[in-house]
A and B are shown apart, each in its own frame.
Chain A
C-alpha cells in the first residue's frame, strides 16, 4: 500500500512538476468529482487520504527535482510493462479512480492501465488504417427510398391480415429492391476488411476408400435402426408415414410422380411419327384416327403415345404378307 502510495505521490509530483500551477486546480477538481461520485461513506476516508497526500505533495513541491525525476521513470516503467509509455495524466487519473473504487486498489489500477493500453493500441491501429473504416462501408451503401404507395401498403399490411383464397397472405411486390440488388455485383468496390480470412486447413490428401464396404452399410443400417425411435405422438407418426410414402404431402400435388417435360405441341402434332406407314389406304386412315385420339388424351405421356404408334407399326409390318394378299 505504501509503495503504491509512494508511486502515486511520485507520479502526482511529476505531473505537478511538469505542469503549471494553474493546471493543478482542474486536476484537483477532477479528483473531487471522482471523490463525490462514490456512494459509500467508508471511502471518504480514502478521499481524505488522497487530499492529505495532495496537500503533502504541495508541501513537498520544493524538494529536489532529481528525486522526483528518478522516481517518475520508475513509476512509469512499473506501469508500462509493454514498453509503450502511457500518458502520465491518464496514469494519474487511473490511479485516482482506482483509489476511489472499493476493491483492491492495486488490482484495479493495473486493470485500468491495461484498458488504457488497449485504447492506445486501437487508436494507433486506426491511425495506420488497419481496422474497419466506416467511411468505406457507408460509401457503398445507398439510401433506400420508399415510395409513399409502398409505405402505405406496408402499413396497411401490418394492420390487416389480407387472406387469399388459399388462406395465404398477400405480399406486396417488392420489385424495386430486387432490381436494385440485381444491378449491384458482388465483386465491385473496395475491400472493407471486416472479416478475417479463415485459415484454410490443408486438405487431407489421404482419402479413405470411397466405395462403402458392406460392413459400413450394415453399420449404417444398424445405427439407423437404433436411432429410429417409435413416434411419440400422432404428428410424428404422420411424418414417418409421409417419409415412407404411405401418406401424401399436403397441400396435395396432383402431378406427383408424373414429370412430363414435353411441350403441348409434342402431344398434339404426332404426324411426324407416321412416316413408316403407307401414304394411302385403310391403314393410313386408321392410323390418322389413332393419332387424333392420342392427341386428345391428356392422361398419357408423350413416351406412351409414341410407344403405341410404334407397336402398331411393328404389328402392320408383321402382317404385311397378309395385307398383300388382300
Chain B
C-alpha cells in the first residue's frame, strides 16, 4: 500500500523536459483528486474499445439472452476506473469540480480573473 502510494507520488511529479527550454514547466498536479481524475482518464482511454464491443453485445435484441448476461458479467469485471462516467471535468488550474466551463476547461473564478486581465483572447465583458 505504501509502495503504491509512493509510486503514485512519483508519477505525480512529471519529469522535466530533457531539452533546456527557458519556459516554465509545471511538474506537479494541483491536488490528488486531479491526479485520480487523470488516472481515470487514462484507463478509460485504454479500455474504451473493449467496453464499446461488450456493450454492443449487451444492448442487443438479436443475440440470445444468455450471451448478454455473460457479457454483463464481463464488463463488470473490468477495472472500475475504466468507465468514462467516472471522469469529472475539473478546472485545469485549480481542480475545482464545479463551475467549470467546458470550452476553456477553467473554473468560473479563474476564467473571470483572466478575462479581466485581458488574457483571454476574444473575451469581452458583456454590455448591451
Contact = CB atoms under 8 A, between A and B. Distances in A.
A280 B71 CA distance: 22
A290 interface: yes
Nearest to A237: B23
B42 interface: no
Interface string B45-65: 000011001001100101110
Contacts of A230: 22
Nearest to A285: B62
Contacts, number: 36
B70 A322 contact: yes
A315 B53 contact: yes
B67 interface: yes
Given A225-B19, A225-B20, A311-B53, A326 B66 contact: yes
Given A225-B20, A308-B53, A315-B53, A289 B62 contact: yes
Interface in A44-77: none
Contact of A319 (B22, B60, B62, B67): B67
B73 to A, nearest CB: 12
Given A312-B53, A322-B70, A326-B66, A286 B19 contact: no
Interface residues of B, number: 15
Contacts of B56: 290
B70 A319 contact: yes
Contacts of A323: 64, 67
A282 B20 contact: no
B45 to A, nearest CB: 14
A79 to B, nearest CB: 71
B64 A326 contact: yes
Nearest to B60: A286
A286 B62 CA distance: 7
Interface in B1-34: 19-20, 22
Given A312-B53, A315-B53, A286 B63 contact: yes
Contacts of B62: 282, 285-286, 289
Contacts of A289: 62
Interface in A263-313: 282-283, 285-286, 289-290, 307-308, 311-312
Contact of B63 (A225, A283, A307, A308): A283
Contacts of A290: 56
8 contacts: A230-B22, A286-B57, A315-B53, A319-B70, A322-B66, A325-B66, A326-B66, A326-B67
Interface of B: 19-20, 22, 49-50, 53, 56-57, 60, 62-64, 66-67, 70
Interface of A: 225, 228, 230, 282-283, 285-286, 289-290, 307-308, 311-312, 315, 319, 322-323, 325-326
Given A307-B49, A319-B70, 12 more contacts: A225-B19, A282-B63, A282-B64, A285-B62, A286-B57, A286-B60, A308-B53, A311-B49, A311-B53, A312-B53, A315-B57, A326-B66
